[in-house]
């Protein structure tokens, strides 16, 4: 059989695991401990010489089924899932970087990620922020102690798109761990393996789960980085297949030691939600594109930030790399118009913080999710004080346009 389509692989993922009783969904295993008839089995699982489950902080059969599904989506060799997207990011940094290392980061990062990186600096990890849309700035930031480079695919909220393929070539040539946050594109819109990402991080709470009812995050190892060359792998973990050393260290230090674990119930919700990701995202991207064009022509809108618009600075990059242009857009109103007043006039669109929901959500950026960053950092990230961010849902397009039309009247 030829290579299966994205949704076909997802909806049949559990069933092909040959679950007991012919189940087509992996069951929810709520047990925290797992018993063994022979204590040697417990020892083997603890030492990693045989597969199995000993304690739910590290794994359960339900979690394994979700990890298998995400691994397929990401075209990777191994995936770990966490309690949320932020825990996936934090554990990746804290388990693979140490005091004295240098991290190159995009200027254009989610506010909580930016805040967390400030915490890393307090631990002695040096950080340089760069305009990641410009490969020359990225190259110029490299130092002898540089270990890792981190970018998002589409930046939240001003939609800058990093020079993803050029950065991948650079990281490969320099032996750097290339970490790509694929949340706003998801594996449906963008295959990060094609730009030579070492690790793919995704907030599963967004487009993968889709329904605004489950928090989760994932880290996928693509198998492209040679962990034998990485000095921060603990000596005790340098055993077995070297391709698994990085993800193995994240699991032992991040899940076992730090406890950033997801529950089986939540893993099940995300797994079921993921089955309709392609269908949802097709509609969301279509709605976002139509709304972006509408807003761009409206006399009360000063600027629209959406990669699908031809005047977007990285429109051609997005067109080349992504299957579609995403379902998040932002816009600035003209001087004299109040963005909060506009949001209060919207009847269908919900004022809420989140992305990837089936419902269209909107918020004023500066006084909410980027308030702690301060004016100078917001300006550095291309965020205006009157910016409105919208996560576009699956509503009927005409209803969505009509809501914005009446609110802008």
| Rounded average pLDDT over 81-94 | 97
pLDDT of amino acid 122: 93
The β-bridge relationship of strands 350-351 and 361-364 is: parallel
pLDDT of amino acid 2: 62
Helix (H, G, I), strand (E, B) or coil at 289: helix
pLDDT of amino acid 372: 80
Cα separation values, 291 from 90, 313, 402, 405, Å:
34, 19, 10, 10
Query: Can you read off the two tokens belonging to residue 325?
Result: 């242009």
Cα separation values, 61 from 227, 245, 246, 263, 268, Å:
27, 22, 22, 11, 11
Question: Environment class of residue 39 by beta-carbon count within 10 Å: exposed (0-12), middle (13-18) or buried (19+)?
Answer: exposed
Low-confidence winner among 203-207, 211-215, 375-379 (lowest mean pLDDT): 375-379
pLDDT of amino acid 326: 98
> Which residues are paired to 396 by β-bridges?
none
pLDDT of amino acid 19: 84
Q: Is the pLDDT confidence value at 341 over 90?
A: yes
Nearest to 204 by CA among 229, 231, 223, 186: 186
Helix (H, G, I), strand (E, B) or coil at 156: coil
Return the percentage of the chain with pLDDT > 90, whole number.
80
The answer to whether the beta carbons of residues 330 and 157 sit under 8 Å apart is yes
At residue 47 the predicted structure's pLDDT band, cuts being 50, 70 and 90, is confident
Q: Is the pLDDT confidence value at 275 over 70?
A: yes
Cα 97 from Cα 115, distance rounded (Å): 17
Q: Is the pLDDT confidence value at 232 over 70?
A: yes
What secondary structure letter does DSSP report for 261? P
At residue 316 the predicted structure's pLDDT band, cuts being 50, 70 and 90, is very high
């Amino acid at each position: 059989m030829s290579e299966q389509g994205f949704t076909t692989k997802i909806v049949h993922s559990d069933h092909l695991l040959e679950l007991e009783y012919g189940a087509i969904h992996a069951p929810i295993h709520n047990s925290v401990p797992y018993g063994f008839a022979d204590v040697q089995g417990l020892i083997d699982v603890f030492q990693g010489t045989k597969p199995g489950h000993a304690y739910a902080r590290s794994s359960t059969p339900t979690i394994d089924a979700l990890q298998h599904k995400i691994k397929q989506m990401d075209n990777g060799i191994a995936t770990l899932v966490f309690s949320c997207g932020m825990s996936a990011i934090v554990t990746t940094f804290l388990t693979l970087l140490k005091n004295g290392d240098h991290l190159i980061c995009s200027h254009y990062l989610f506010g909580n990620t930016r805040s967390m990186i400030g915490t890393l600096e307090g631990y002695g990890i040096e950080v340089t922020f760069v305009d990641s849309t410009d490969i020359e700035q990225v190259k110029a930031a490299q130092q002898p102690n540089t270990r890792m480079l981190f970018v998002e695919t589409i930046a939240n909220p001003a939609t800058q798109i990093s020079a993803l393929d050029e950065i991948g070539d650079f990281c490969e040539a320099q032996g750097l761990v290339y970490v790509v946050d694929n949340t706003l594109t998801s594996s449906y819109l963008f295959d990060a393996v094609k730009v030579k990402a070492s690790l793919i991080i995704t907030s599963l709470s967004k487009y993968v789960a889709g329904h605004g009812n489950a928090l989760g995050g994932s880290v996928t190892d693509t198998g492209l980085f040679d962990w034998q060359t990485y000095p921060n792998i603990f000596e005790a973990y340098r055993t077995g297949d070297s391709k698994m050393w990085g993800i193995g260290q994240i699991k032992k230090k991040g899940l076992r030691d730090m406890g950033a674990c997801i529950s089986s119930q939540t893993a099940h919700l995300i797994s079921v939600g993921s089955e309709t990701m392609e269908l949802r995202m097709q509609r969301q991207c279509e709605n976002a594109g139509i709304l972006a064009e509408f807003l761009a022509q409206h006399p009360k809108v000063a600027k629209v930030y959406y990669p699908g618009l031809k005047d977007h600075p990285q429109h051609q990059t997005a067109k080349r790399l992504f299957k579609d242009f995403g379902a998040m857009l932002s816009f600035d109103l003209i001087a004299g118009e109040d963005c909060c007043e506009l949001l209060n006039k919207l009847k269908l669109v919900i004022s809420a913080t989140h992305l990837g929901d089936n419902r269209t959500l909107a918020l004023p950026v500066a006084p909410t999710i980027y308030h702690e960053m301060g004016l100078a950092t917001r300006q550095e990230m291309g965020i205006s004080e009157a910016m409105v961010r919208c996560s576009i849902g699956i509503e009927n397009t005409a209803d969505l346009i009509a809501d914005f039309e009446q609110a802008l009247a």
